[in-house]
Structure formats: structure tokens, C-alpha cells
Structure 1
């Protein structure tokens, strides 16, 4: 994987999973459900695929970070009084 492709992939997966996590948290009114789903999906991938490279792991970690930040953002907004739906 090219260095530029890897940098773009890391940012793209962070933003993608932040958005998905934020929307799921907002609609389902759960704070950490997307994080649990992400760990389940990552565990499935680890056990079914045989080898990972550095680029794959870094993209997965950026997606995990996006999911965690999305959950933290919703939790912070709710604690400050914002209601989502």
C-alpha cells in the first residue's frame, strides 16, 4: 500500500466509523453499542483471516479510535443536556 493511500485510508476510516458510531448512538440511544459491534466484527476478522499487515492494523485502529470518539462525543453531549431525538 502506498504511503499516501495509507494516510488517506486512516483518516477516511476514522471519519467513517465516527459517523456510523455517532448516528447509531443517537438513534438507538445507547452509548457504547457501536464499540461492542466493532470489537465483535474485528474479532471475527482476526479469526477468519490468516494474516494482517501493518497497513491493515493501522486502518483498523483508526476505525476503533473513531468509534470510541463517537461514543465519547454522544456521552458528552447528553451530559450537557442535548437530547438526540
Structure 2
């Protein structure tokens, strides 16, 4: 059981972390939604215990165990991961708004 202060701090941390990473990737790669597309893959690596190579060697077992771990996530975990996705999406919105207003990012 995660305490409420830990959940609140984690939500803010994930939002700011993925907003910052998304903003930098959007600036450097000039693709506004790159982090929003990459974030679900990052979430799967956070959730999964299996190594990446196991998804190629034994895909049935690996995806089955991943599906079971996603199903068994607690509400606090889902909230924390959703805040990271929100940060990634807001970074795309922010970079688009800045580009429309004439700011050149690299």
C-alpha cells in the first residue's frame, strides 16, 4: 500500500519528468508528438520484468506475463503512469503552441 504523500509526489515527478523529456525530444527531433508515441513503450518496460530479448525468443510467454502484470496494477500505479502520459502530451501541446507563436526551436 502506497501512502498518499508518495503518490502525490510521484504523480508530480512523473508529469514533470516526461514533460521535460518530451519537450527536449520535440525540440531536437522536430516531431511534436514523439514522446506521446514512445511513452506507452516506456511504460511497458517499467511494468515488465522480462528482458527485451525475451519478447523475441518467447513472445507468447512474455506478452502473457506482461498482460497479467498490467491487469494487476494498483490504482496508484495507474495514476502515476497516467500522469507521465499527461506530461508527454502536454509537452507536445506546448511545443506546438510555441511554434505557432513564431518561436524557432533549434
| Structure 1 spans left out of the alignment, 5+ residues | none
Runs of 4+ in 1 over 6 A off after TM superposition: none
Give the Cα separation in 2 of the matches to 1:41 and 1:19: 15
Aligned-CA RMSD value:
1.6
Counterpart among 58, 76, 88 of residue 55 in structure 1: 76
Aligned length: 85
Give the Cα separation in 1 of the matches to 2:15 and 2:94: 14
What's the secondary structure of 2:16's corresponding residue? helix
The residue that corresponds to 1:4 in the other structure is 5
| Structure 2 spans left out of the alignment, 5+ residues | 49-62
Q: Give the structure-1-normalised TM-score.
A: 0.91
Q: Give the structure-2-normalised TM-score.
A: 0.74
